[in-house]
Amino acid sequence: MVANRWFIDSETGELADVLLCPPDHYAWIPSNDIAIRSMAQGRRPDRAALGTQFRELVAALEGEQVACHYLTPHEGMPYEVYTRDSSQTTPFGTVVTRLARPERRAEIGPIHEFYGSGEIWKTCTAGHIEGGDIHVIRPGLLAVGVSGGRTDEAGAAEFISWFEAAGWECRMIHFAEHFLHLDVIFTMVAENLAIAAVDVIADEDLDWFRAHGIRLLPVSYKEAMRDMGCNVLALGRDRVVSPHHCTRINQMLRAEGLRVLDPALDQFSQGGGSIHCMTMPLRRKSLLAG
């Protein structure tokens, strides 16, 4: 196999490189239930606070020796900052996803500019699939969220087929469309440890995670939707980045022995995304490396 510059085989291996996008043109738009609720309550994003919070996130990552790479922000792409959705790093190369919302489809252009043709392994062509629904849990194990909105069964099936051809066990996790992506209700925080809105994920899916040795720390519906509390980023080596306002969840993670970096990010979470959405891991140390 040709060696790729970018590589991940898990959500929890030590993170070395990550892709972000500055929020120069970020805006809340009524394209998801979270932003709609925020706007209905009369809230509006604070441009100065957006810049400050983004820089705080970058500082947290760089302080842990994570190299930050950037897409060029483009006018007319209000959610380009959520880099998780438009591509997916895999053990086999980079996959260009297929975004569902019309206002986000132009984000694929900057993705091609960043990676170049040599780094792109596959391009999704069936249905729709977005990176927030893709969880490369560990070598050999993949979960893909399916809401019928951002990711549908056709898009998930195409993506899963490439991993099944390599011998991976894969599962579609179905949930209600208003949750947007799987990473709003489930995210790995360390090897074999996840946080999850256990009251909204189907029992058979919870059983599947547990059967694979994944322990689930419970997050409430309010924490998941109001605070984007599940939307965190594991850095590996028992480190996790989690929003400052998620105080109970952060206490829970610390009680598990994790070191929690907690930048302020409420300006982004109120628009329908947070740390996991804003970061596409480009390179992690393989969990098979020992």
- The answer on pLDDT for 35 being more than 80 is no
Mean pLDDT rounded to a whole number for the chain: 93
- The answer on pLDDT for 2 being more than 50 is no
- The answer on pLDDT for 259 being more than 60 is yes
At 272 the pLDDT is 72
At 268 the pLDDT is 84
- The answer on pLDDT for 33 being more than 70 is no
- The answer on pLDDT for 237 being more than 80 is yes
Nearest to 250, CA basis, from 262, 233, 238: 262
At 44 the pLDDT is 76
The answer to pTM > 0.85 is yes
Confidence of residue 290 (pLDDT cuts 50, 70, 90): low
Confidence of residue 13 (pLDDT cuts 50, 70, 90): very high
Ranges 152-156, 177-181, 186-190: which has the least confidence? 177-181
Q: What number is the average pLDDT over the span 29-58?
A: 80
Confidence of residue 93 (pLDDT cuts 50, 70, 90): very high
- The answer on pLDDT for 32 being more than 80 is no
Ranges 4-18, 42-56, 190-204, 229-243: which has the least confidence? 42-56
**Considering the chain, what percentage of its residues have pLDDT values greater than 70?**
96
Torsion sign over Cα 7, 8, 14, 16 = positive
